[in-house]
Each structure stands twice: as C-alpha cells, then as structure tokens.
Amino acid sequence: MQTLYRILKYHLKVSAEMIVCLTDKIKDWTNVVVAYEPVWAIGTGKVASPAQAQEVHANLRDWLKTNVSPEVAESTRIIYGGSVTGASCKELAAQPDVDGFLVGGASLKPEFIDIINAATVKSA
Ligand SMILES: O=C[C@H](O)COP(=O)(O)O
C-alpha cells in the first residue's frame, strides 16, 4: 500500500491527503473500475497528454499485478478523466493502458459520440 501511495503522490504532484486502499476487502474485481483523474485536469480544459496518462495507468496496472494478481491487472479497466474532448479522445484511447474515460463537460456536447466511438480505436 505504501508503494501505491508513493506512485500516486509522485504523479499527482500534490500532497495526497489520504489514499484509502480496499484491495483486501474486494472479493470480486470484475465489479471494479479504476479511474485516474488528475485534479488539475478536472473541468479546467487542461487534458493530460497521452504519454502522461499512459505512464500513470501503466504504473497502476503494474501495482495491481504485483499486489493483487496478473489476471486482475489484465482485466481491470483503468479509465482516465479530466477535460477529455472529441479532439483528445482518440490519441488517449490508443494508449495501451487507457481503457476508457470518465467524461464530464464533453458528455453534454455532440462531440460525446466521438468519445464513445474512441473505444474502438485499439480494435481498428
Ligand atoms: O466526472 C467527470 C470528470 O470529473 C471529468 O470532468 P471534465 O471532463 O469536465 O473535466
């Protein structure tokens, strides 16, 4: 757990007040989705670069692999949130460890359909 705290603290660049880890209480990981939302990106119009998002997501998946199981790491969806738009979604979705999005403002605009369709980028 301490390692996850350090990973998140490093990436978030903030003094994380508290990271609550419930991995020992989760019985069924198929019900879990991990969301990474950099606080500076939420509702600001500043989206993480694809490389930034990929780096954090890969670290989170590695953490799951080490601390839960390789199977859970492989199957758990790790989604990104923070100013995703129709313009940024395809490149983000193409990153190997970005499995989807948590969309706020853009979900109210016509471009939301482009964000939904970005889910097919890796299979295209
Ligand atoms: O629930 C949505 C997330 O907080 C991201 O919101 P946003 O896309 O408006 O930045």
CA atoms within 13 A on the CB side of 49: 4
Ligand 1 pocket test, candidate residues 37, 108, 115, most atoms within 8 A of CB:
37
The pLDDT, as a whole number, for residue 63 is: 81
Which pLDDT score is estimated for 18? Answer: 36
Looking up tokens 């395809």, which residue turns up?
A: 90
* Residue located via tokens 């980028």: 121
Instruction: Name the band, by pLDDT with cuts 50, 70 and 90, for residue 14.
Output: very low
Residue 42 is predicted with a pLDDT of: 94
- Tokens 């738009």, residue located: 85
With a cut of 90, say whether residue 23 has pLDDT above it: no
How many domains is the chain built from?
A: 1
CA of 104 to the centre of ligand 1 (A): 3
The protein residue with its alpha carbon nearest to ligand 1, atom 3, reads 104
The CATH number that applies at residue 108 is 3.20.20.70
ipTM of the complex: 0.95
- The residues pairing with 94 across neighbouring beta strands, listed in sequence order, are none
Q: Judge residue 60's burial from the number of C-beta atoms within 10 Å of its C-beta, 0-12 exposed, 13-18 middle, 19 or more buried.
A: buried
Whether 42 lines ligand 1, by a CB cut-off of 6 Å, is yes
For residue 37, give its domain range.
1-122
In this structure, are residues 4 and 62 in contact, taking their beta carbons and an 8 Å threshold?
no
Q: What is the pLDDT of residues 58-71, one digit of tens each?
A: 988 888 888 789 99
- Tokens of residue 64, six digits: 């799951």
pLDDT of residue 6: 63
Q: Does the CB atom of residue 37 touch ligand 1 within 6 A?
A: yes
